[in-house]
Chain A
Amino acid sequence: MENVTNRPETTSSAAASRRSFLRVAGAAAVTGGLLTACSHADESSVTPNGSARAAGPTISLPTGDVGILAFAYVLEQLEAAFYEMVLAKPYPNMSSSDMALWSDIRGHEIIHRALFKAAVGAGTAANVPDLTFNFSSIDFNNRADVLSNAEAFEKTGVGAYNGAGKYIKDAGYLTLAGKIVSVETRHHSILRELQYPYSDAFAGPTIVTSDTGLHLAYEPTFVLPIAQKYINETLDASALVKSLTPA
């Protein structure tokens, strides 16, 4: 990986710390997973503190598999709402190929949202209502801003599914999550390519580690605060997080 001339982004800090990092990485990695699974004493809530936005009603995510599905439903609602905004107010001079891309991705996310609402209906929709969103931090008139935010949402989604898979007990639900995550990854890959054409950014070292070839995986406790920034309602995932143990 000496040749960095094609890198559209810098990974210098990660690279610089890698050597010393590797010495403790094995233990750190396992403890990271452990903390997720076992250290709940300090996990009271994932709600950001001191938020300036208007407080919405609090939504408590259920536990176990239904809670994971509810978590996925939250993320799919977020993604679908974002792409609905992109096309409700297209940025100036949106090309026909961009329009087609956004329409496809919007369609996929609306479909994912509909699936979770219908398939897990009583279990999920009863616990998670239609959420409302605040995308005021995003400039929908600016293609670069739309692209980078879309990429960030997809990246979070991919990492979320990859990190949650091991907590799913039901094999059918695991397969269902698997059917979705690879499509989210396809979105992410294409959005990266559009941001950094003809490079290896679609799966470069900030996305896929170069020494193991593994794509992102995020724990639910990492993902929820990111999603919360855009959601008016307050998510309380403390019960869900407590209930999570690998299958």
Chain B
Amino acid sequence: MNLQNLFSEIEKVDGEIFDRLAHVSRRSLFSSLTKKTIAVAAPAIMASALTKSYGQSSALPQGVKDVLNFALALEYLEFTFYDYGHNLAMIPNNYKPAFELIRQHEQVHVRLLKSVLGSEAIPMPKFDFSAKGTFMDTFTNFATFSAIAQTFEDTGVRAYKGQAPNLQAAPAILQVALQIHATEAAHAANVRYMRGQKGWITGGTAAMQGLPSVVDGSYKGEENTVQAGVDLASALAGDSRITPAMVMQAFDEPLTKEQVLPLVAPFFA
């Protein structure tokens, strides 16, 4: 994508852009408003990037399309789960604001991804929140509901992370995906905390997260202590402030699409 050209294009379309924002210089516009502008205008950014790079959304590279539809499937799953749980009596009042916010985020993630994919977006599938009979009290027992929520969020973080390199050809989309990834991590930490877990993932089993072994796969690999070829547990073994558990916690590991699909498959009807 040629950003300089895109810049010129925008000035052609809206020559008054800088007049409208006359109270800020170009530099301060960029430094003070980047977060808000980029976030608020994400669909416009993505649409611009796509149009400029690929013409029509239907001409999106299959790889990018696959990533976005994969993400959309997971967001449909999460949104439907929280939408069903929305204001259920079994959610303690203390936690209702958090779950309501998470529900809203998943809803706008769905909307955002659909807006980018256009006619290429997959339709909403049907779900089974008993996971084929594994969880019989998903929407009547808060312990089950919040455990599933944690698993979805932790897995969502790992799934988005695994897809980041597949989006490098589309930098604007990559940035949006990274921002969604962080939102899922903020959800995950909060849900973990309200369940009495640490906000970060310790170790590679479900049991270590206070979860049933049926969701072991969602945590497999999180016991890793080697990063970029460096065995950090060994390298820091002499530092009394550091434990091997902390080395596992300090990095969230990615999951590939092939690893994620079997984990969420039971929840698809």
Q: Which residue numbers of A lie inside 8 Å of B, CB to CB?
A: 1, 6, 14, 18, 21-22, 24-39, 42-43, 103-104, 106-108, 110-112, 114-115, 118-120, 158-159, 161-163, 165-166, 169, 171-172, 174-176, 178-183, 185-190, 193, 198-200, 202-204, 207-219, 221-222, 245-247
Contacts and interface: CB of A to CB of B under 8 A. Distances in A.
Interface stretch (B33-41, B134-142, B259-267): B33-41
Given A107-B250, A112-B250, A186-B199, A25 B41 contact: yes
Given A110-B239, A183-B249, A209-B39, A24 B33 contact: no
A174 B165 contact: yes
A179 B26 CA distance: 33
Interface stretch (B57-65, B183-191, B207-215): B183-191
B124 interface: no
A1 B1 CA distance: 36
Contacts of B181: 178, 181-182, 215
B179 interface: yes
Interface stretch (B81-89, B95-103, B125-133, B144-152): B95-103
Contact of A185 (B34, B39, B185, B229): B185
20 contacts: A25-B44, A29-B37, A32-B38, A104-B246, A111-B242, A159-B35, A169-B168, A178-B178, A180-B250, A181-B181, A182-B184, A182-B185, A189-B185, A190-B189, A203-B102, A216-B35, A216-B179, A217-B179, A246-B171, A247-B169
Contacts of B242: 107, 110-111
Nearest to A211: B108
Nearest to A199: B97
Interface of B: 1, 3-4, 6-7, 10, 13-14, 17, 20-21, 26-27, 29-45, 48, 94-95, 97-98, 100-102, 104-109, 112, 157, 161, 164-165, 168-169, 171-172, 174-176, 178-190, 193, 198-200, 227-230, 232, 235-236, 239, 241-243, 246-247, 249-254
Contacts of B161: 175, 178-179, 182
A110 B33 contact: no
Given A35-B30, A182-B181, A202-B189, A214 B42 contact: yes
Nearest to A5: B97
A234 B171 CA distance: 30
A233 B178 CA distance: 31
A26 B6 CA distance: 12
